[in-house]
Structure 1
Amino acid sequence: MSDELGFAELSVLAGVLDSNGAKLDDLILTGADFNDGRFGDIFDTMRRMRSENRPVDPTTLGGEIPTHAAFLWTLSDQVPHTINTGFHADMVREAAVRRRVNAAGVRISEWSKTLGMSDLTDRARREVDEAVGLQRRRVTFMADTIGDTIEGIGKPSRSVPTPWRSLTDSIGGFRPGALYVFGARPGVGKTAVSIQIALELAEHGAVAYSSLEMPEHELHLRCISAGAGVAHAILEKPAPLPEFVKSKIDAWRGSTPQSIAFDDRGSVTVNDIRTHARSVAREGNLAGVVVDYLQLISGESGAKRLEVVTEASRQLKLLARDLDVPVIALSQLNRNAESRGDKRPAMSDLRESGAIEQDADLVILLHRDMEATDTASTDFDMLVAKNRHGATGVLRMEWAGEFMSVTDGRTW
């Protein structure tokens, strides 16, 4: 231990004793932060005594730890001035973080010999995050922080608009840190909705899109069709594109950001999704994360689907908060709606986990009558079944099947 760090640790102990324990209330330290284990034990004893509303002086502390009694009485001689306790506490904390990061590096080095890349990357990041973050948060009261909230009232929202004005008006846009779940039966249009959302988010930054069902080139075609207004059937034909179609696509490419990073691996864990999102975030401003879809996320070998989906839902909510971006997750619905007269889905139709309903800030159920006549089949409903920040209700949209997209309609 360097002389400077040793003196800093002594200075912290002396400062606490000199204040009869009062300085403990302002120190973001624990005994584990001290390089000298003896000092760490003394500091933790001080904290315990302070929490019990007992005086913290050489006499009372010496009574708690008799083996250090003589040492405690010499502290004032070793540290005659204790006005810089906070500065020295910062030195102790910084040294502790550096030791933890160094220890994390050793563990990561060992893991690199056996773990796969995905697990290694995720565990390494988590290890470093924990090493840097092992500090108690300073207690703050509302009186100290409410001013910032009041100043923010009336200022422009950080929410990103949705692709549909009526939905934006209803839910206020996509909020950073929130989890949005869009649920539907197969074939209704989940992926089409998610593509439009990704294109809208891309207007505001980079988008991490994890597609567990559809390969990247098919997603590209969906983007072109919805974004450039080109019939999807034309893009699928094994024939050269007409010149007017090429012109529409070129015009769209020139005016629209293509900052969507697709990960189309068919079998990924929630750790893979997190790693992909963080990688995209390092490339630039991350506007959002899209996952298509929850029930296809892989879990540990032998884990039940209910457990996998429950954990995935919880982790996606944490991901939204950690990255401070909206996370949009698609979800499969069960077949219960088919037995109802109007075939409209309900929240209880979310497959395999009630945790989805619990974790989501907003749940939108998509409905399109697949057996209706051609005239009525354009009806497309978004049922806002849960809205933590506002009202629920039904939004009437229009299904533009030719372009694999949904257009705005009216609210009722």
Structure 2
Amino acid sequence: MTPYAHQAEQSVLGALLLDNAAADRLGELKARHFYREEHRSIFVETLALISKGVPADVISVWDRLQARGTVSGGELLPYLNQLAQNTPSAANVEHYAGIVLDKALLRGLLHVTGKAEDLARNPKGQSADQVLDEVLSMVSTLAERRARQEPKSINELLVDLVEAVSRRAESGDNAMATGISSLDEMLNGGFRRGQLVIFAGRPSMGKTALAVDVGLSIAEKHSVLLFSMEMTAQEITARALSSRGSLPLSRLLGRIGDTDSQSWGAITHGCSRLNELRFAVDDTAASTLRELRMRANTWKRRHGLDLIIVDYLGLMTGGDGEKRHEQIGSYSRGLKALAKELDVTVLALAQLNRKSEERADRRPQLSDLRDSGEIEQDADVVALVHRSEMYEPSNETLRGFAEVLVRKQRNGCLGDIPLRFMGATSQFEEWDGPIPSTAPQKGSWRGGYE
């Protein structure tokens, strides 16, 4: 038998007709939670009148329903009268609404279990893990719809904030350190859960190298999953071994003789360091947001998860909309939602367009983000990776000089971070020399808080 509370639905509607102020005590009740179609129509029209400040009574609701033709039959007016007369008081409307919500949740569970059975019997090429992830996603969505979130007063919010400050004072900051102290300082300690962080740059500027370098550092204490849609897992592994073994990538990918004890020693040292990290790579090409979400859910369930790296936005597929900027926007919105849903940081890489190369200093700006301005809107942090030496390769003063230009940060300041890029091992470290004269001096561009 379908879960359904006929009297509770009638009592909610009757309470609204008796006392329009009862609409403030309905909690999360929506029209979709009613089982009977005529009840949904009555509820919608009643709330529409109340929201406009027009008294909603038997006659006004009946007139609106008649005009719209949403409920047919000559018994509508008597039925509305019955609803109002059979409800003794609006005092218990919150209780009635809760019953209607509970029944709607049970119907939703029946729907999900039915779809789960259909998927189990006919997976349509999906693995058992993929089917499980899809079912878990449906259950999670159902739970989110049922969850009741009410506004909190500033007094309550202050208590929560002070408690969080106190916990950080006692147990340390919960930010994930990136391994680059100047970047951590700019980001108030590092990456934080629920954030969408964007590293963007023109091709060959080192944004992937920076993302991998940061990911490896975070993996020393946390679980990291890299979705690499551009490079293979072996290429990422080679870069990681080169970085942590301090062995030039060209040397690692070449032929190392049996007597080259220095190189083999570096490989052994790098393997030892990497074996201690919780760092995983998924190199599935052209992943959709749904596929990425499913695999991230599975990995978190099995191994825990703190940081997701996506390399890169432009190679994802299956986004909403026909135009490219609409699809890219759907990816950034989806990744931000995923960060909050899984309570992780999502670090996504993005390309910049060519406009920066038309400027005299070729330094990128936020407006150079390729394909969609929604990336800037959705992200909590946007950092632009720039290396002047790419445009002046013969200028020795620029050799290895790199900048991370933090141009958006919801909860922090903006500024430029000078770094040294060691291309042979794809590593970044603090810049300890004088700032090259052809580049803006450290601190010369310093924005305020957003």
| Short-chain TM bin | 0.7 to 0.9
The letter for the 2-side match of 1:244 is G
CA contact (8 A) 2:320 2:326 kept: no
Deviation at residue 311 of structure 1 after TM alignment: 2.7
One of 287, 299, 303 as aligned partner of 1:280: 299
What does residue 222 of structure 2 align with? 205
Which stretch of the first structure deviates more once superposed, 279-288 or 129-138?
Answer: 129-138
Distance 2:366 2:30 in 1: 46
CA contact (8 A) 2:247 2:267 kept: no
Which stretch of the first structure deviates more once superposed, 118-127 or 343-352?
Answer: 118-127
Deviation at residue 313 of structure 1 after TM alignment: 2.6
Deviation at residue 37 of structure 1 after TM alignment: 4.6
Unaligned runs of 5+ in 2: 65-75, 433-441, 444-450
Distance 2:350 2:2 in 1: 56
Q: Secondary structure at the match of 1:200?
A: helix
What does residue 427 of structure 2 align with? 405
Distance 1:53 1:349 in 2: 47
Deviation at residue 62 of structure 1 after TM alignment: 8.6
Deviation at residue 247 of structure 1 after TM alignment: 4.2
CA contact (8 A) 1:225 1:404 kept: yes
Q: For 1:65-89, what per-residue CA distance to the aligned partner results, in whole angstroms no more than 9, with x for missing partners?
A: 523156336635xxx8987654554
What does residue 383 of structure 1 align with? 405
CA contact (8 A) 1:29 1:135 kept: no
Which stretch of the first structure deviates more once superposed, 353-362 or 205-214?
Answer: 353-362
Deviation at residue 297 of structure 1 after TM alignment: 1.7
What TM-score comes out, normalization by structure 2 length? 0.74
The letter for the 2-side match of 1:288 is L
Distance 2:4 2:222 in 1: 46
Distance 2:149 2:374 in 1: 32
Q: For 1:181-232, what per-residue CA distance to the aligned partner results, in whole angstroms no more than 9, with x for missing partners?
A: 2122322222211111212332443222110111112211222222343433
Distance 2:187 2:314 in 1: 25
One of 223, 229, 232 as aligned partner of 2:246: 229
Q: Structure 1 residue 320 and structure 2 residue 339: aligned?
A: yes
Q: How is 1:13-412 mapped onto 2 (pairs within 5 angstroms)?
A: 20-27=19-26, 28-37=28-37, 39-40=39-40, 43-44=43-44, 47-48=47-48, 50-51=50-51, 66-69=77-80, 71-72=82-83, 75=86, 86-106=94-114, 117=126, 127-135=138-146, 137=148, 139-143=150-154, 145-152=156-163, 154-155=165-166, 156=168, 157-172=173-188, 173-239=190-256, 242=261, 244-253=265-274, 256-258=276-278, 260-299=279-318, 303-368=322-387, 369-370=389-390, 371-373=393-395, 376-409=398-431, 411-412=442-443
Check 1:277–1:56 CA distance in 2 against 1; reply closer, same or farther (3 A cut).
Answer: same
Identity, % of aligned pairs?
29
Check 1:248–1:339 CA distance in 2 against 1; reply closer, same or farther (3 A cut).
Answer: same
The letter for the 1-side match of 2:77 is P
Unaligned runs of 5+ in 1: none
Check 1:104–1:120 CA distance in 2 against 1; reply closer, same or farther (3 A cut).
Answer: same
Which stretch of the first structure deviates more once superposed, 340-349 or 395-404?
Answer: 340-349
Q: Secondary structure at the match of 1:318?
A: helix
Deviation at residue 36 of structure 1 after TM alignment: 4.4
Distance 2:396 2:411 in 1: 36
Deviation at residue 337 of structure 1 after TM alignment: 3.8
Q: Secondary structure at the match of 1:213?
A: coil
Check 1:47–1:288 CA distance in 2 against 1; reply closer, same or farther (3 A cut).
Answer: same
What does residue 68 of structure 2 align with? none
Check 1:231–1:92 CA distance in 2 against 1; reply closer, same or farther (3 A cut).
Answer: same
CA contact (8 A) 1:205 1:284 kept: no
Check 1:152–1:89 CA distance in 2 against 1; reply closer, same or farther (3 A cut).
Answer: same
Which stretch of the first structure deviates more once superposed, 306-315 or 322-331?
Answer: 306-315
Check 1:17–1:360 CA distance in 2 against 1; reply closer, same or farther (3 A cut).
Answer: closer
The letter for the 1-side match of 2:98 is D
The letter for the 2-side match of 1:353 is S
Distance 1:336 1:253 in 2: 39
Check 1:215–1:125 CA distance in 2 against 1; reply closer, same or farther (3 A cut).
Answer: same
Q: Secondary structure at the match of 2:199?
A: strand
Check 1:302–1:363 CA distance in 2 against 1; reply closer, same or farther (3 A cut).
Answer: closer
The letter for the 1-side match of 2:184 is T
What TM-score comes out, normalization by structure 1 length? 0.80
The letter for the 2-side match of 1:249 is G
Distance 1:154 1:245 in 2: 43
The letter for the 2-side match of 1:34 is F
The letter for the 2-side match of 1:273 is L
The letter for the 2-side match of 1:29 is L
Q: Secondary structure at the match of 1:154?
A: helix
CA contact (8 A) 1:261 1:280 kept: no
Check 1:31–1:212 CA distance in 2 against 1; reply closer, same or farther (3 A cut).
Answer: closer
Deviation at residue 29 of structure 1 after TM alignment: 1.6
- C-alpha RMSD of the superposition: 3.9
The letter for the 1-side match of 2:353 is N
CA contact (8 A) 1:101 1:132 kept: no
Q: Secondary structure at the match of 2:424?
A: helix
